[in-house]
Each structure stands twice: as structure tokens, then as C-alpha cells.
Structure 1
Amino acid sequence: MEEKVVIDNSEQKHEKKQKYLGDKGFVVFIAFLSAFIPLSTDVYLPALPRMVESFNTTASMVNLTLIFFFVFYAIGTMFWGPLSDKYGRKPILLVGLSIYTIASILCIFSSSVYQLIIYRILQSIGCGAATAVSTAIVKDVYAGRKRVSILAIVQSMGMVSPIVSPVIGALILSALSWRGVFVVLAVIGVLSLAGSLAMNETIEERTEGSIFKSIGRLGVVAKNKSFTSLLITFSMMSIASMSFISASSYIYVDGFKLSERVYSYYFAINAVFFLLGPLLYIRLSKHFHYKPIITTSYIIMSISGLLLITVGFMKPWIFALSLIPASLFGSIIGPARTNLMIEQLDGDTGAASSLMSFAFTFFGSIGMLMISTNFINRIVLMGLMYLIIGLLSLAAWLTISNKPYIKHVSYHGEAED
């Protein structure tokens, strides 16, 4: 049997115009929502070693404020997406972001690491509304190659956050305590609420029935063989990529003995390649089909893991250079990966977006837990993750992508396979 290929020449749906945000402002707002995870974690990373001293606790305990953030963020996204299919994108954003803002304020006044863990959990649940709804909004409004381009732009703009956030965090720490970081996050929450109030609703058809029926759509989407097989294949790599988020400050500050500010520069340099990846994909897709682009990316990520294992522990700049190929090619496949998964479904966009966020975060949390054990050198362990999981992901992709039930979509102006 031949694989299913749909030729889609449509560019944009008949969306409701954004009266207050405008077309460009709307794209910026979607990118802002998509960047909520790096905004909520990366500005906070330089403070982790200092928080160990402030609370007179261990690095493992402080890491729980990061790990539990991702775990409960994943759980939260499972509900926000289906609820947005029923009640609309805007009301869900307003509720979720209100929770996020209040929790950020509570974090400022935490008197123990246990309180901070609880407030970070609340913060993560609210954060899930932003990221779960952002992908659904893109599918509500855009179609065809236009959607792929918007996904690339949004994902690249979202990568500005990992570039500037650690630098901002380091600057805050040079003048204030770690509590100043959460002041910044509270301000971000207020700005996002303002954007949500200004946004016009984007969903056209809402799901009917009770709340439980809406949440039950998660099961319907999960039973879609093509969507779920791609979701598992693409999510595995998060084990390696999110291990870096958890371990980066300890590798650079404790391991290589760099200052918090110098660490933030190294982190920002790596994040630049995350930013360039989606934009590079748009150029590559004009000459190559997305299937070989994804295949090549997995190969290069595996090679990057091998470099980390063999030479990454020698110097901080060698570690950074070894990681850059994985960061660049991990983000290159982002627009194609997201678009291919949502193309497998005709509806339930919010539920699909929730499952995507949950799966990426769930697998990523596994990597964060593994790297936190520190049973072997963190850099070597990270390299093993990139190498082994990269090869496993490559094998899964080569198998799944050739299955007849996968719906491949070619757009006008995109290279054929």
C-alpha cells in the first residue's frame, strides 16, 4: 500500500480579524504564549545553585522545584486543551494565566523550599493553559504552507526567551536575591493577561456536551493510530534535550567553575541555535522534503551525543560546541513535526495540543530525573541520552514514516520527497 499524501494549496482560513492585536501583534502574542515554558524556567536557572544555599538544602531538593514544575505542567495541559475546545481559547487563557500570575507572586514570598515547590506546581498548572492553547490557535487561524511558516516564525520567536532569560536572571542575581526572578515572572503573567484580554476568540466550532465528555476527547485523539505513533516517536528526544535544562547551571557553574553571568552567556549562545532552527527549516523545505530533513536531523543529534561523551567534559567551550548540533537540528524539525501531527486529525485540536505538550514534557521529565541522580558525570550521561535516544528515534521515524496510515501533506512551494 502507498502512503497517503494530500496536496494542500490553501494558505489561510477565514479567521476573525484581531481588532486590537492586529495580524503582526497576533503572531507575536502566539509566540509569547509558546515561550511560556522557557520564560518560566530559563530566567530561573542561574539562581538554582544560590537557592541551595538560601534554603540550606541540597541540589536535588532544589531541582524538585524544576522537575515538579514540568510534571504538573504536563498534567495541566491534559485538561486545558479539551476545555478550550468546549469553552473557547480566550476564557481558558484568562483562567490559566490568572493562576500563573498569582502563583508567581506567592513564589516571591516562599519561606522554605517546600513552599516554593508547592507554588511552582500551581505556577506550572497555569502555565499549561498558555502552551496548550497556543498550538490550537495556530490551527484555528492558519492552513496549508502558511501554517508551517507561522509555526516556524512562532517557534523561532519563542526561542528569543532562552537567549535573554538566563542573562536577565544573572543580572537580577547581581543586584537582588533569587526572589527577584519571580517578580519578573509575575510581571510576565500580567502582560500575558493583558494580551489575552485584547485577543478575539479564534475557535469556530466548539465541542458539545459535558466537561467530562470534552476531557474524554483526549481518549478519542489518543486512539488515532497515526497521531499517537508520531507523538511517541517525536517525544522521545525530549528526554535528552530537557536534561540539559535541568543540569546546565550545575555543569557550567559547579562543574566548570564559571560565574552565573558567564554561564548565562553560554546558555544564550546555545539558545541562538534553537532560534535559527525553525527559520532554517523554511529555507531547507523549499529544496528538500521534510522526511529527509527529519532523518538527517536525528543522525546529527546522535553524532552530537557522541561528541559530548568523548570530548564534551574537557572545556566549557568544547561542551558548548558539542551540544550546538543537537540544539540546532532538534529545533529544525519543530515546525514539520508539529504540523505533521495535527494534520493527522480533522478536529479536537485543543485535545491534540494537550497530548503533544503532555508527551514532550513527560518524556522530558524522565531525562531531568535521570540527570539529577548524578550517578555518572552529567555531561557523559547527557551524551549517552542524545546518542542512544537519537538512534532509537531515528529507527522509529524510518519505520513509522513509511506506514500507509500516516497522512503526509505536501504544500505548494515545498519540495517533493
Structure 2
Amino acid sequence: MISNPRTPPHLLTIILLTAFSPLSLNMFLPSLENIARDLKTDYALVSVAIAGYLAVTAVIQLIAGPLSDRFGRRPVLLVALTIFCISSIVCSLAQNIWVFLTFRMLQGSVTAGFTLSLAIVRDTNPPREAAGLIGYITMSMAIAPMLGPVLGGILDSTFGWRTSFYFYAFFGIVLLLLCWFDLGETRKGHGDGEQEERDNFTALLRERRFFAYAICTAFSTGAFYIFLAGAPLAATATFGVTTVQLGFLIGSITMGFSAGGFLAGRFAATVSLPTMMLIGRIVACSGLTFGLLLLISGWLSPWVFFGSTLFVGIGNGLTMPSSNSGAMSVRPDLAGSAAGLVGASTLAGGAILTSLTGAAVVEDSSPEIVIALMLASSLIGLIAATGALIFERNGSIATH
């Protein structure tokens, strides 16, 4: 039993829930080839564990958010973590690829931890303070993806690929127990039939303010997806960097995101949500514009290329805590639905932008194309942030 059923969780609980979502995606990546060999299948089929997982997590975010608005954050999170733990155990014991893939998809339930963590922060804090806390939380989103593959590689090489799923199961149980004892219900009020009929995605989609925040989030993140899809090929083809150098340089954008998240946590409480979003968008667009001009002028250097993309990481770290908080503040009673819808639309947008980048960037492409695509996505985010600022000045949303 928990001492108070409405006690908000400690910040550490929220950070662990948030960080474990990306960790569940990438920690086992070094094991894909060994999984294919052990389960006697081909690599392409095993890779469905990545692409299919992303698709499932988008759907889960759409489901978990509204369910948490109706039944509460606590029960939805406990059920999601239970499903994740059971799925992890089955994956660790799987003897054929279809069992493995089925329960690997069910592992996507853990993404509810990220979605509902944002809603819980918004439930328990005013918009600006929520943005500040989300800024600190997003720092974990930057660190976890960097550590995950390293840890997974060590576990695989030492004990075998199944150990990663033992780790998932063990840590999932730890999170489940932590949430059972630490996470009280934070959703305010209880819905009735009439309320439930009104409280759905349609209500959010009628709000132009929600669109401004959601579009800003999606296209800010979209620049990062473009980077992931285009930077490795452009860098190796143009600059001839080694794989070791490439790994370090690619990690720079993630370090920038962590730095931006820290700054957002430090200053978001004193700056309006749209203003902080604008600052982040200006940082990203300025760095990309300067880098593009240098590249066009003949300064073909990996330091120019990755130096300009570093500003995207910083800008996103500044922007996204406020844009997420703003989206959930349009209808605070639908914070879970808003978090789920923003998360799903961001993943869908990332998939589209990644595909477009893959088609546009070929082996002989210049890095200018990648920077230009990132700049275009960041500019759309800038326009959306400007729209959010206009709505605030018109008194459309309270930010205090």
C-alpha cells in the first residue's frame, strides 16, 4: 500500500520512467545479428523488432493518453509496466522468431511511461514550472540512448543476447514496484458519461493553440530525425570520417539536446512557453543557416557540418519542454490525451521525414542537402512557435 493514494511521485521516479522508454528501444540493437542466428531466421525479419516496435509505440501513446484521462495515470501505468515485464520474460525465453516478435511488440507498452510522465508533471505543476521540470527530465532522454547500446553490447558479448531481456524484465519489475509505492493518482476530478463524450481527440483537434504546440514539437524533432537519416552518409561520403569519429560526431547533437534541456529547466519558470519555444527555434535556425552559408562558400569541414547541427540539439532542448507543456495546458483535463497525440504525431512525422531524407540523400550528395532539410523542418517549427506566441498575446491561453 502507498501512504497517500494522491501523492505525486518523486522526480527520480519520473526520470526513470522517461529514460527507460528509449532504453527499451535501442539497448538490444547490438544483438540483432545474434538473435537472427540463434532463432534461425534472417536479419531483415529480426529488424522488424525495431520498425514494428516504433509503429506500436505510436499506437500505444494514442491509447494510453485517453485511458489515463478516463481511469487515471496510476492504473494505466501499472498495467503497462506489468505487460512490459511479462513480455520481456517471454522474449528472453523465446525459441522462435514469431514468439519473439509478438512479445517484442507488446514491450512497447513501456512507452506509456514517457507519455504519462509528461501528463503527471503537468497535473502537478503550472505550465511554466512544468516546462522547467520537463527540461530536466529530457536530459535523461539524451543520456539513455547513448548508454543503452553500450550496455547492451557488453551484456551480449559477455552473457548472450537474452541477458538484455533479463535486464528489461528485472528493471521493469523495479519500476513497477517503485510506481506501486511512490506513484499516487495525479489526475484531478473524475469523468462522467457526458464528460467522457466531450473529452476526446476531437476536442483537442478543434483547438488551434494545440496545433501550434504540436506542430512545433513534431517539426523540431523532425530536424533530429533528418539528421539521423542523412548525416552518416553525407559525412562519410564527403568528409571521409572513420566510424569511430562518426559515432562521436553524431553524439554531439544529443549532448546539445541535454545542454538545452538543462537551460530550459533553469529558465523556463521565468519565461513564457511560446517565448522559450521561439528562443529554441531561433537558436536552431541560426546555427543551421550559418553552417549552410559556410558550406556553400566552400568550407567543407565536418566541424562546420556537425557544429551547425549541434545548435539543433540545443534548440530542441530549449523548445520541446515548453511545447509539450503548452500542448497539455490547452485542455489540462485532457493532458494525457494531449501527450499521447503529440507523441504519436511526432513519431509519424519522424517516419515521413526520415523516408524523404533517405530518398533525397544519396551517396554523392553534398552535406548542404542535409542541412537544408533540417533548416526547413526547423523553420516550420519556428512558424508554429510564432503562432503560439500570437495566441498567447491574444489571451488565448494562460501561462501562469
Q: The TM-score by the shorter chain falls in which range?
A: 0.7 to 0.9
Q: 1:408 to 1:208 in 2, by over 3 A?
A: closer
Deviation at 1:87, TM superposition (A): 1.7
Question: What secondary structure is seen at the aligned counterpart in 1 of 2:193?
Answer: coil
Deviation at 1:257, TM superposition (A): 5.2
Q: 1:144 to 1:397 in 2, by over 3 A?
A: closer
1:31/1:157 contact within 8 Å kept: yes
Match of 1:271 among 240, 249, 254: 254
Q: Can you list the C-alpha shifts for 1:215-245, whole angstroms capped at 9, x where unaligned?
A: 9622222222221332123212333323556
Identical pairs, percent: 20
Q: 1:185 to 1:34 in 2, by over 3 A?
A: same
Deviation at 1:193, TM superposition (A): 0.8
Larger CA deviation: 94-103 vs 36-45: 36-45
Question: What secondary structure is seen at the aligned counterpart in 1 of 2:10?
Answer: helix
CA distance in 1, matches of 2:135, 2:358: 32
Deviation at 1:205, TM superposition (A): 0.9
CA distance in 1, matches of 2:93, 2:132: 42
1:69/1:120 contact within 8 Å kept: yes
Deviation at 1:106, TM superposition (A): 3.0
1:30: which partner in 2?
Answer: 14
2:396: which partner in 1?
Answer: 407
Question: What secondary structure is seen at the aligned counterpart in 2 of 1:204?
Answer: coil
Question: What secondary structure is seen at the aligned counterpart in 2 of 1:376?
Answer: coil
Deviation at 1:132, TM superposition (A): 2.4
Equivalent residues, number: 388
* RMSD value, Cα: 4.1
> Could you say which structure has the higher helix fraction?
2
Larger CA deviation: 49-58 vs 384-393: 49-58
CA distance in 2, matches of 1:36, 1:323: 26
CA distance in 2, matches of 1:152, 1:108: 34
Match of 2:135 among 152, 164, 178: 152
Q: Can you list the C-alpha shifts for 1:138-157, whole angstroms capped at 9, x where unaligned?
A: 12222254333322222224
1:165: which partner in 2?
Answer: 148
CA distance in 2, matches of 1:154, 1:96: 20
Deviation at 1:384, TM superposition (A): 4.2
Unmatched segments (≥5 aa) in structure 2:
none
State the one-letter code of the partner of 1:218: F
Match of 1:301 among 284, 289, 292: 284
CA distance in 2, matches of 1:110, 1:242: 32
CA distance in 1, matches of 2:51, 2:395: 34
Tell me whether 1:330 sits opposite 2:319 in the alignment.
no
State the one-letter code of the partner of 1:398: T
Question: What secondary structure is seen at the aligned counterpart in 2 of 1:196?
Answer: helix
Deviation at 1:75, TM superposition (A): 0.9
* Alignment of structure 1 residues 240-259 onto 2, 5 Å: 240-244=223-227, 258=243
Tell me whether 1:71 sits opposite 2:60 in the alignment.
no
2:256/2:314 contact within 8 Å kept: yes
Q: Can you list the C-alpha shifts for 1:224-274, whole angstroms capped at 9, x where unaligned?
A: 222133212321233332355678899999995536xx8776665543332
* Alignment of structure 1 residues 198-237 onto 2, 5 Å: 198=181, 199-209=183-193, 213=196, 217-237=200-220
* Alignment of structure 1 residues 1-80 onto 2, 5 Å: 26-47=10-31, 57=42, 63-80=47-64
Q: 1:240 to 1:18 in 2, by over 3 A?
A: farther
Q: 1:182 to 1:308 in 2, by over 3 A?
A: farther
1:348: which partner in 2?
Answer: 334
CA distance in 2, matches of 1:252, 1:179: 34
1:398: which partner in 2?
Answer: 386
Q: 1:237 to 1:27 in 2, by over 3 A?
A: same
Deviation at 1:353, TM superposition (A): 1.9
Normalised by the length of structure 2, the TM-score is 0.79
1:363: which partner in 2?
Answer: 349
1:131/1:357 contact within 8 Å kept: no
1:119: which partner in 2?
Answer: 103
Question: What secondary structure is seen at the aligned counterpart in 2 of 1:402?
Answer: helix
CA distance in 2, matches of 1:218, 1:179: 39
CA distance in 2, matches of 1:191, 1:167: 21
Question: What secondary structure is seen at the aligned counterpart in 2 of 1:390?
Answer: helix
Unmatched segments (≥5 aa) in structure 1:
1-16, 412-417
Larger CA deviation: 40-49 vs 216-225: 40-49
Match of 1:183 among 163, 166, 182: 166
Q: Can you list the C-alpha shifts for 1:94-131, whole angstroms capped at 9, x where unaligned?
A: 1111111222233334556655443332111x123212
Question: What secondary structure is seen at the aligned counterpart in 1 of 2:243?
Answer: coil
CA distance in 2, matches of 1:390, 1:49: 36
Deviation at 1:29, TM superposition (A): 0.6
CA distance in 1, matches of 2:200, 2:251: 39
Normalised by the length of structure 1, the TM-score is 0.76
Question: What secondary structure is seen at the aligned counterpart in 2 of 1:342?
Answer: helix
CA distance in 2, matches of 1:143, 1:382: 38
2:325: which partner in 1?
Answer: 339
Q: 1:84 to 1:282 in 2, by over 3 A?
A: closer
2:222: which partner in 1?
Answer: 239
